[in-house]
Structure 1
């Protein structure tokens, strides 16, 4: 019951009150018992209720970098496209997120492709992103012909600035980074 209470507090918009759950407990526990058990569970989990996701990193970096609307849509396009690429399962979410930002900047030709702010914020250098970015760029180029193209169709809509319709970039044709 306490695990369900924790989950509902974490996920639900309107979290249940302890008094509302008293009927489910059939008056076996008092509120203090429930709160103590909730604390024990959370302490055992070391208060870690989820793993970081690509989206969590992107939200933070977008907040710091504050890109224009088209770039932001392109970043989210690549992040959703990344979910369809099984090769990226082995890549840590922070690197996937940084690669999404890099792929978006490359596609839209936002120079410099990798800013000092992004480098400091993500702790990734440009060369560390190239392999993952290549997977994303390849997915973008194949997206129109892919059987599972819901992400492509979604980001081809006006409300997402039709970012999917941009030509997929070829990383080899971009200028080399200046170090």
Structure 2
């Protein structure tokens, strides 16, 4: 099934490399740029098909993410509405036929950046606070245009540090209260359930 989905792309090759399965396939973005998918990063669905890939284009790394059509359409709407945002990470390219969104590749996740792991690579507390502040400002930016994102609650549930859990729990409670006070706000789950 997965091979059929990529039959319109370049030749599909797999080879074993230790425990990882690496693959090579090419997706052409709407911009005309070619992205060579090098590694499967995540599998999804009941069939556990590859959905997130690390890709390369012109010596830069990218993430290619296969998404359902409703999510794809919603992402296009969000990108159009927040085109000038400095805080919100939007896809930088896409391919409707393949159902993929393309993002810049980052070595770390938001969660790993704000966690205190006592390693040499751990960010100072002031830098972690800046990241959390920026995250709050991005959520506020969504709210000002009538959107709400439901992931902050999931984020704070994953954080083991009690100080950070408390700070994010407060931010989540404020966001939930804002939704209750403004019934016209659109949420991602409401958008997807109406399709």
TM-score calculated relative to the size of structure 1:
0.24
| More strand per residue | 2
- Report the TM-score, using the length of structure 2 for normalisation: 0.22
Name which structure has the greater RCO, CA cutoff 8 Å, separation 6+.
1
The structure with the largest helix share of the pair is 1
Task: Give the structure with higher Rg (CA).
Answer: 1
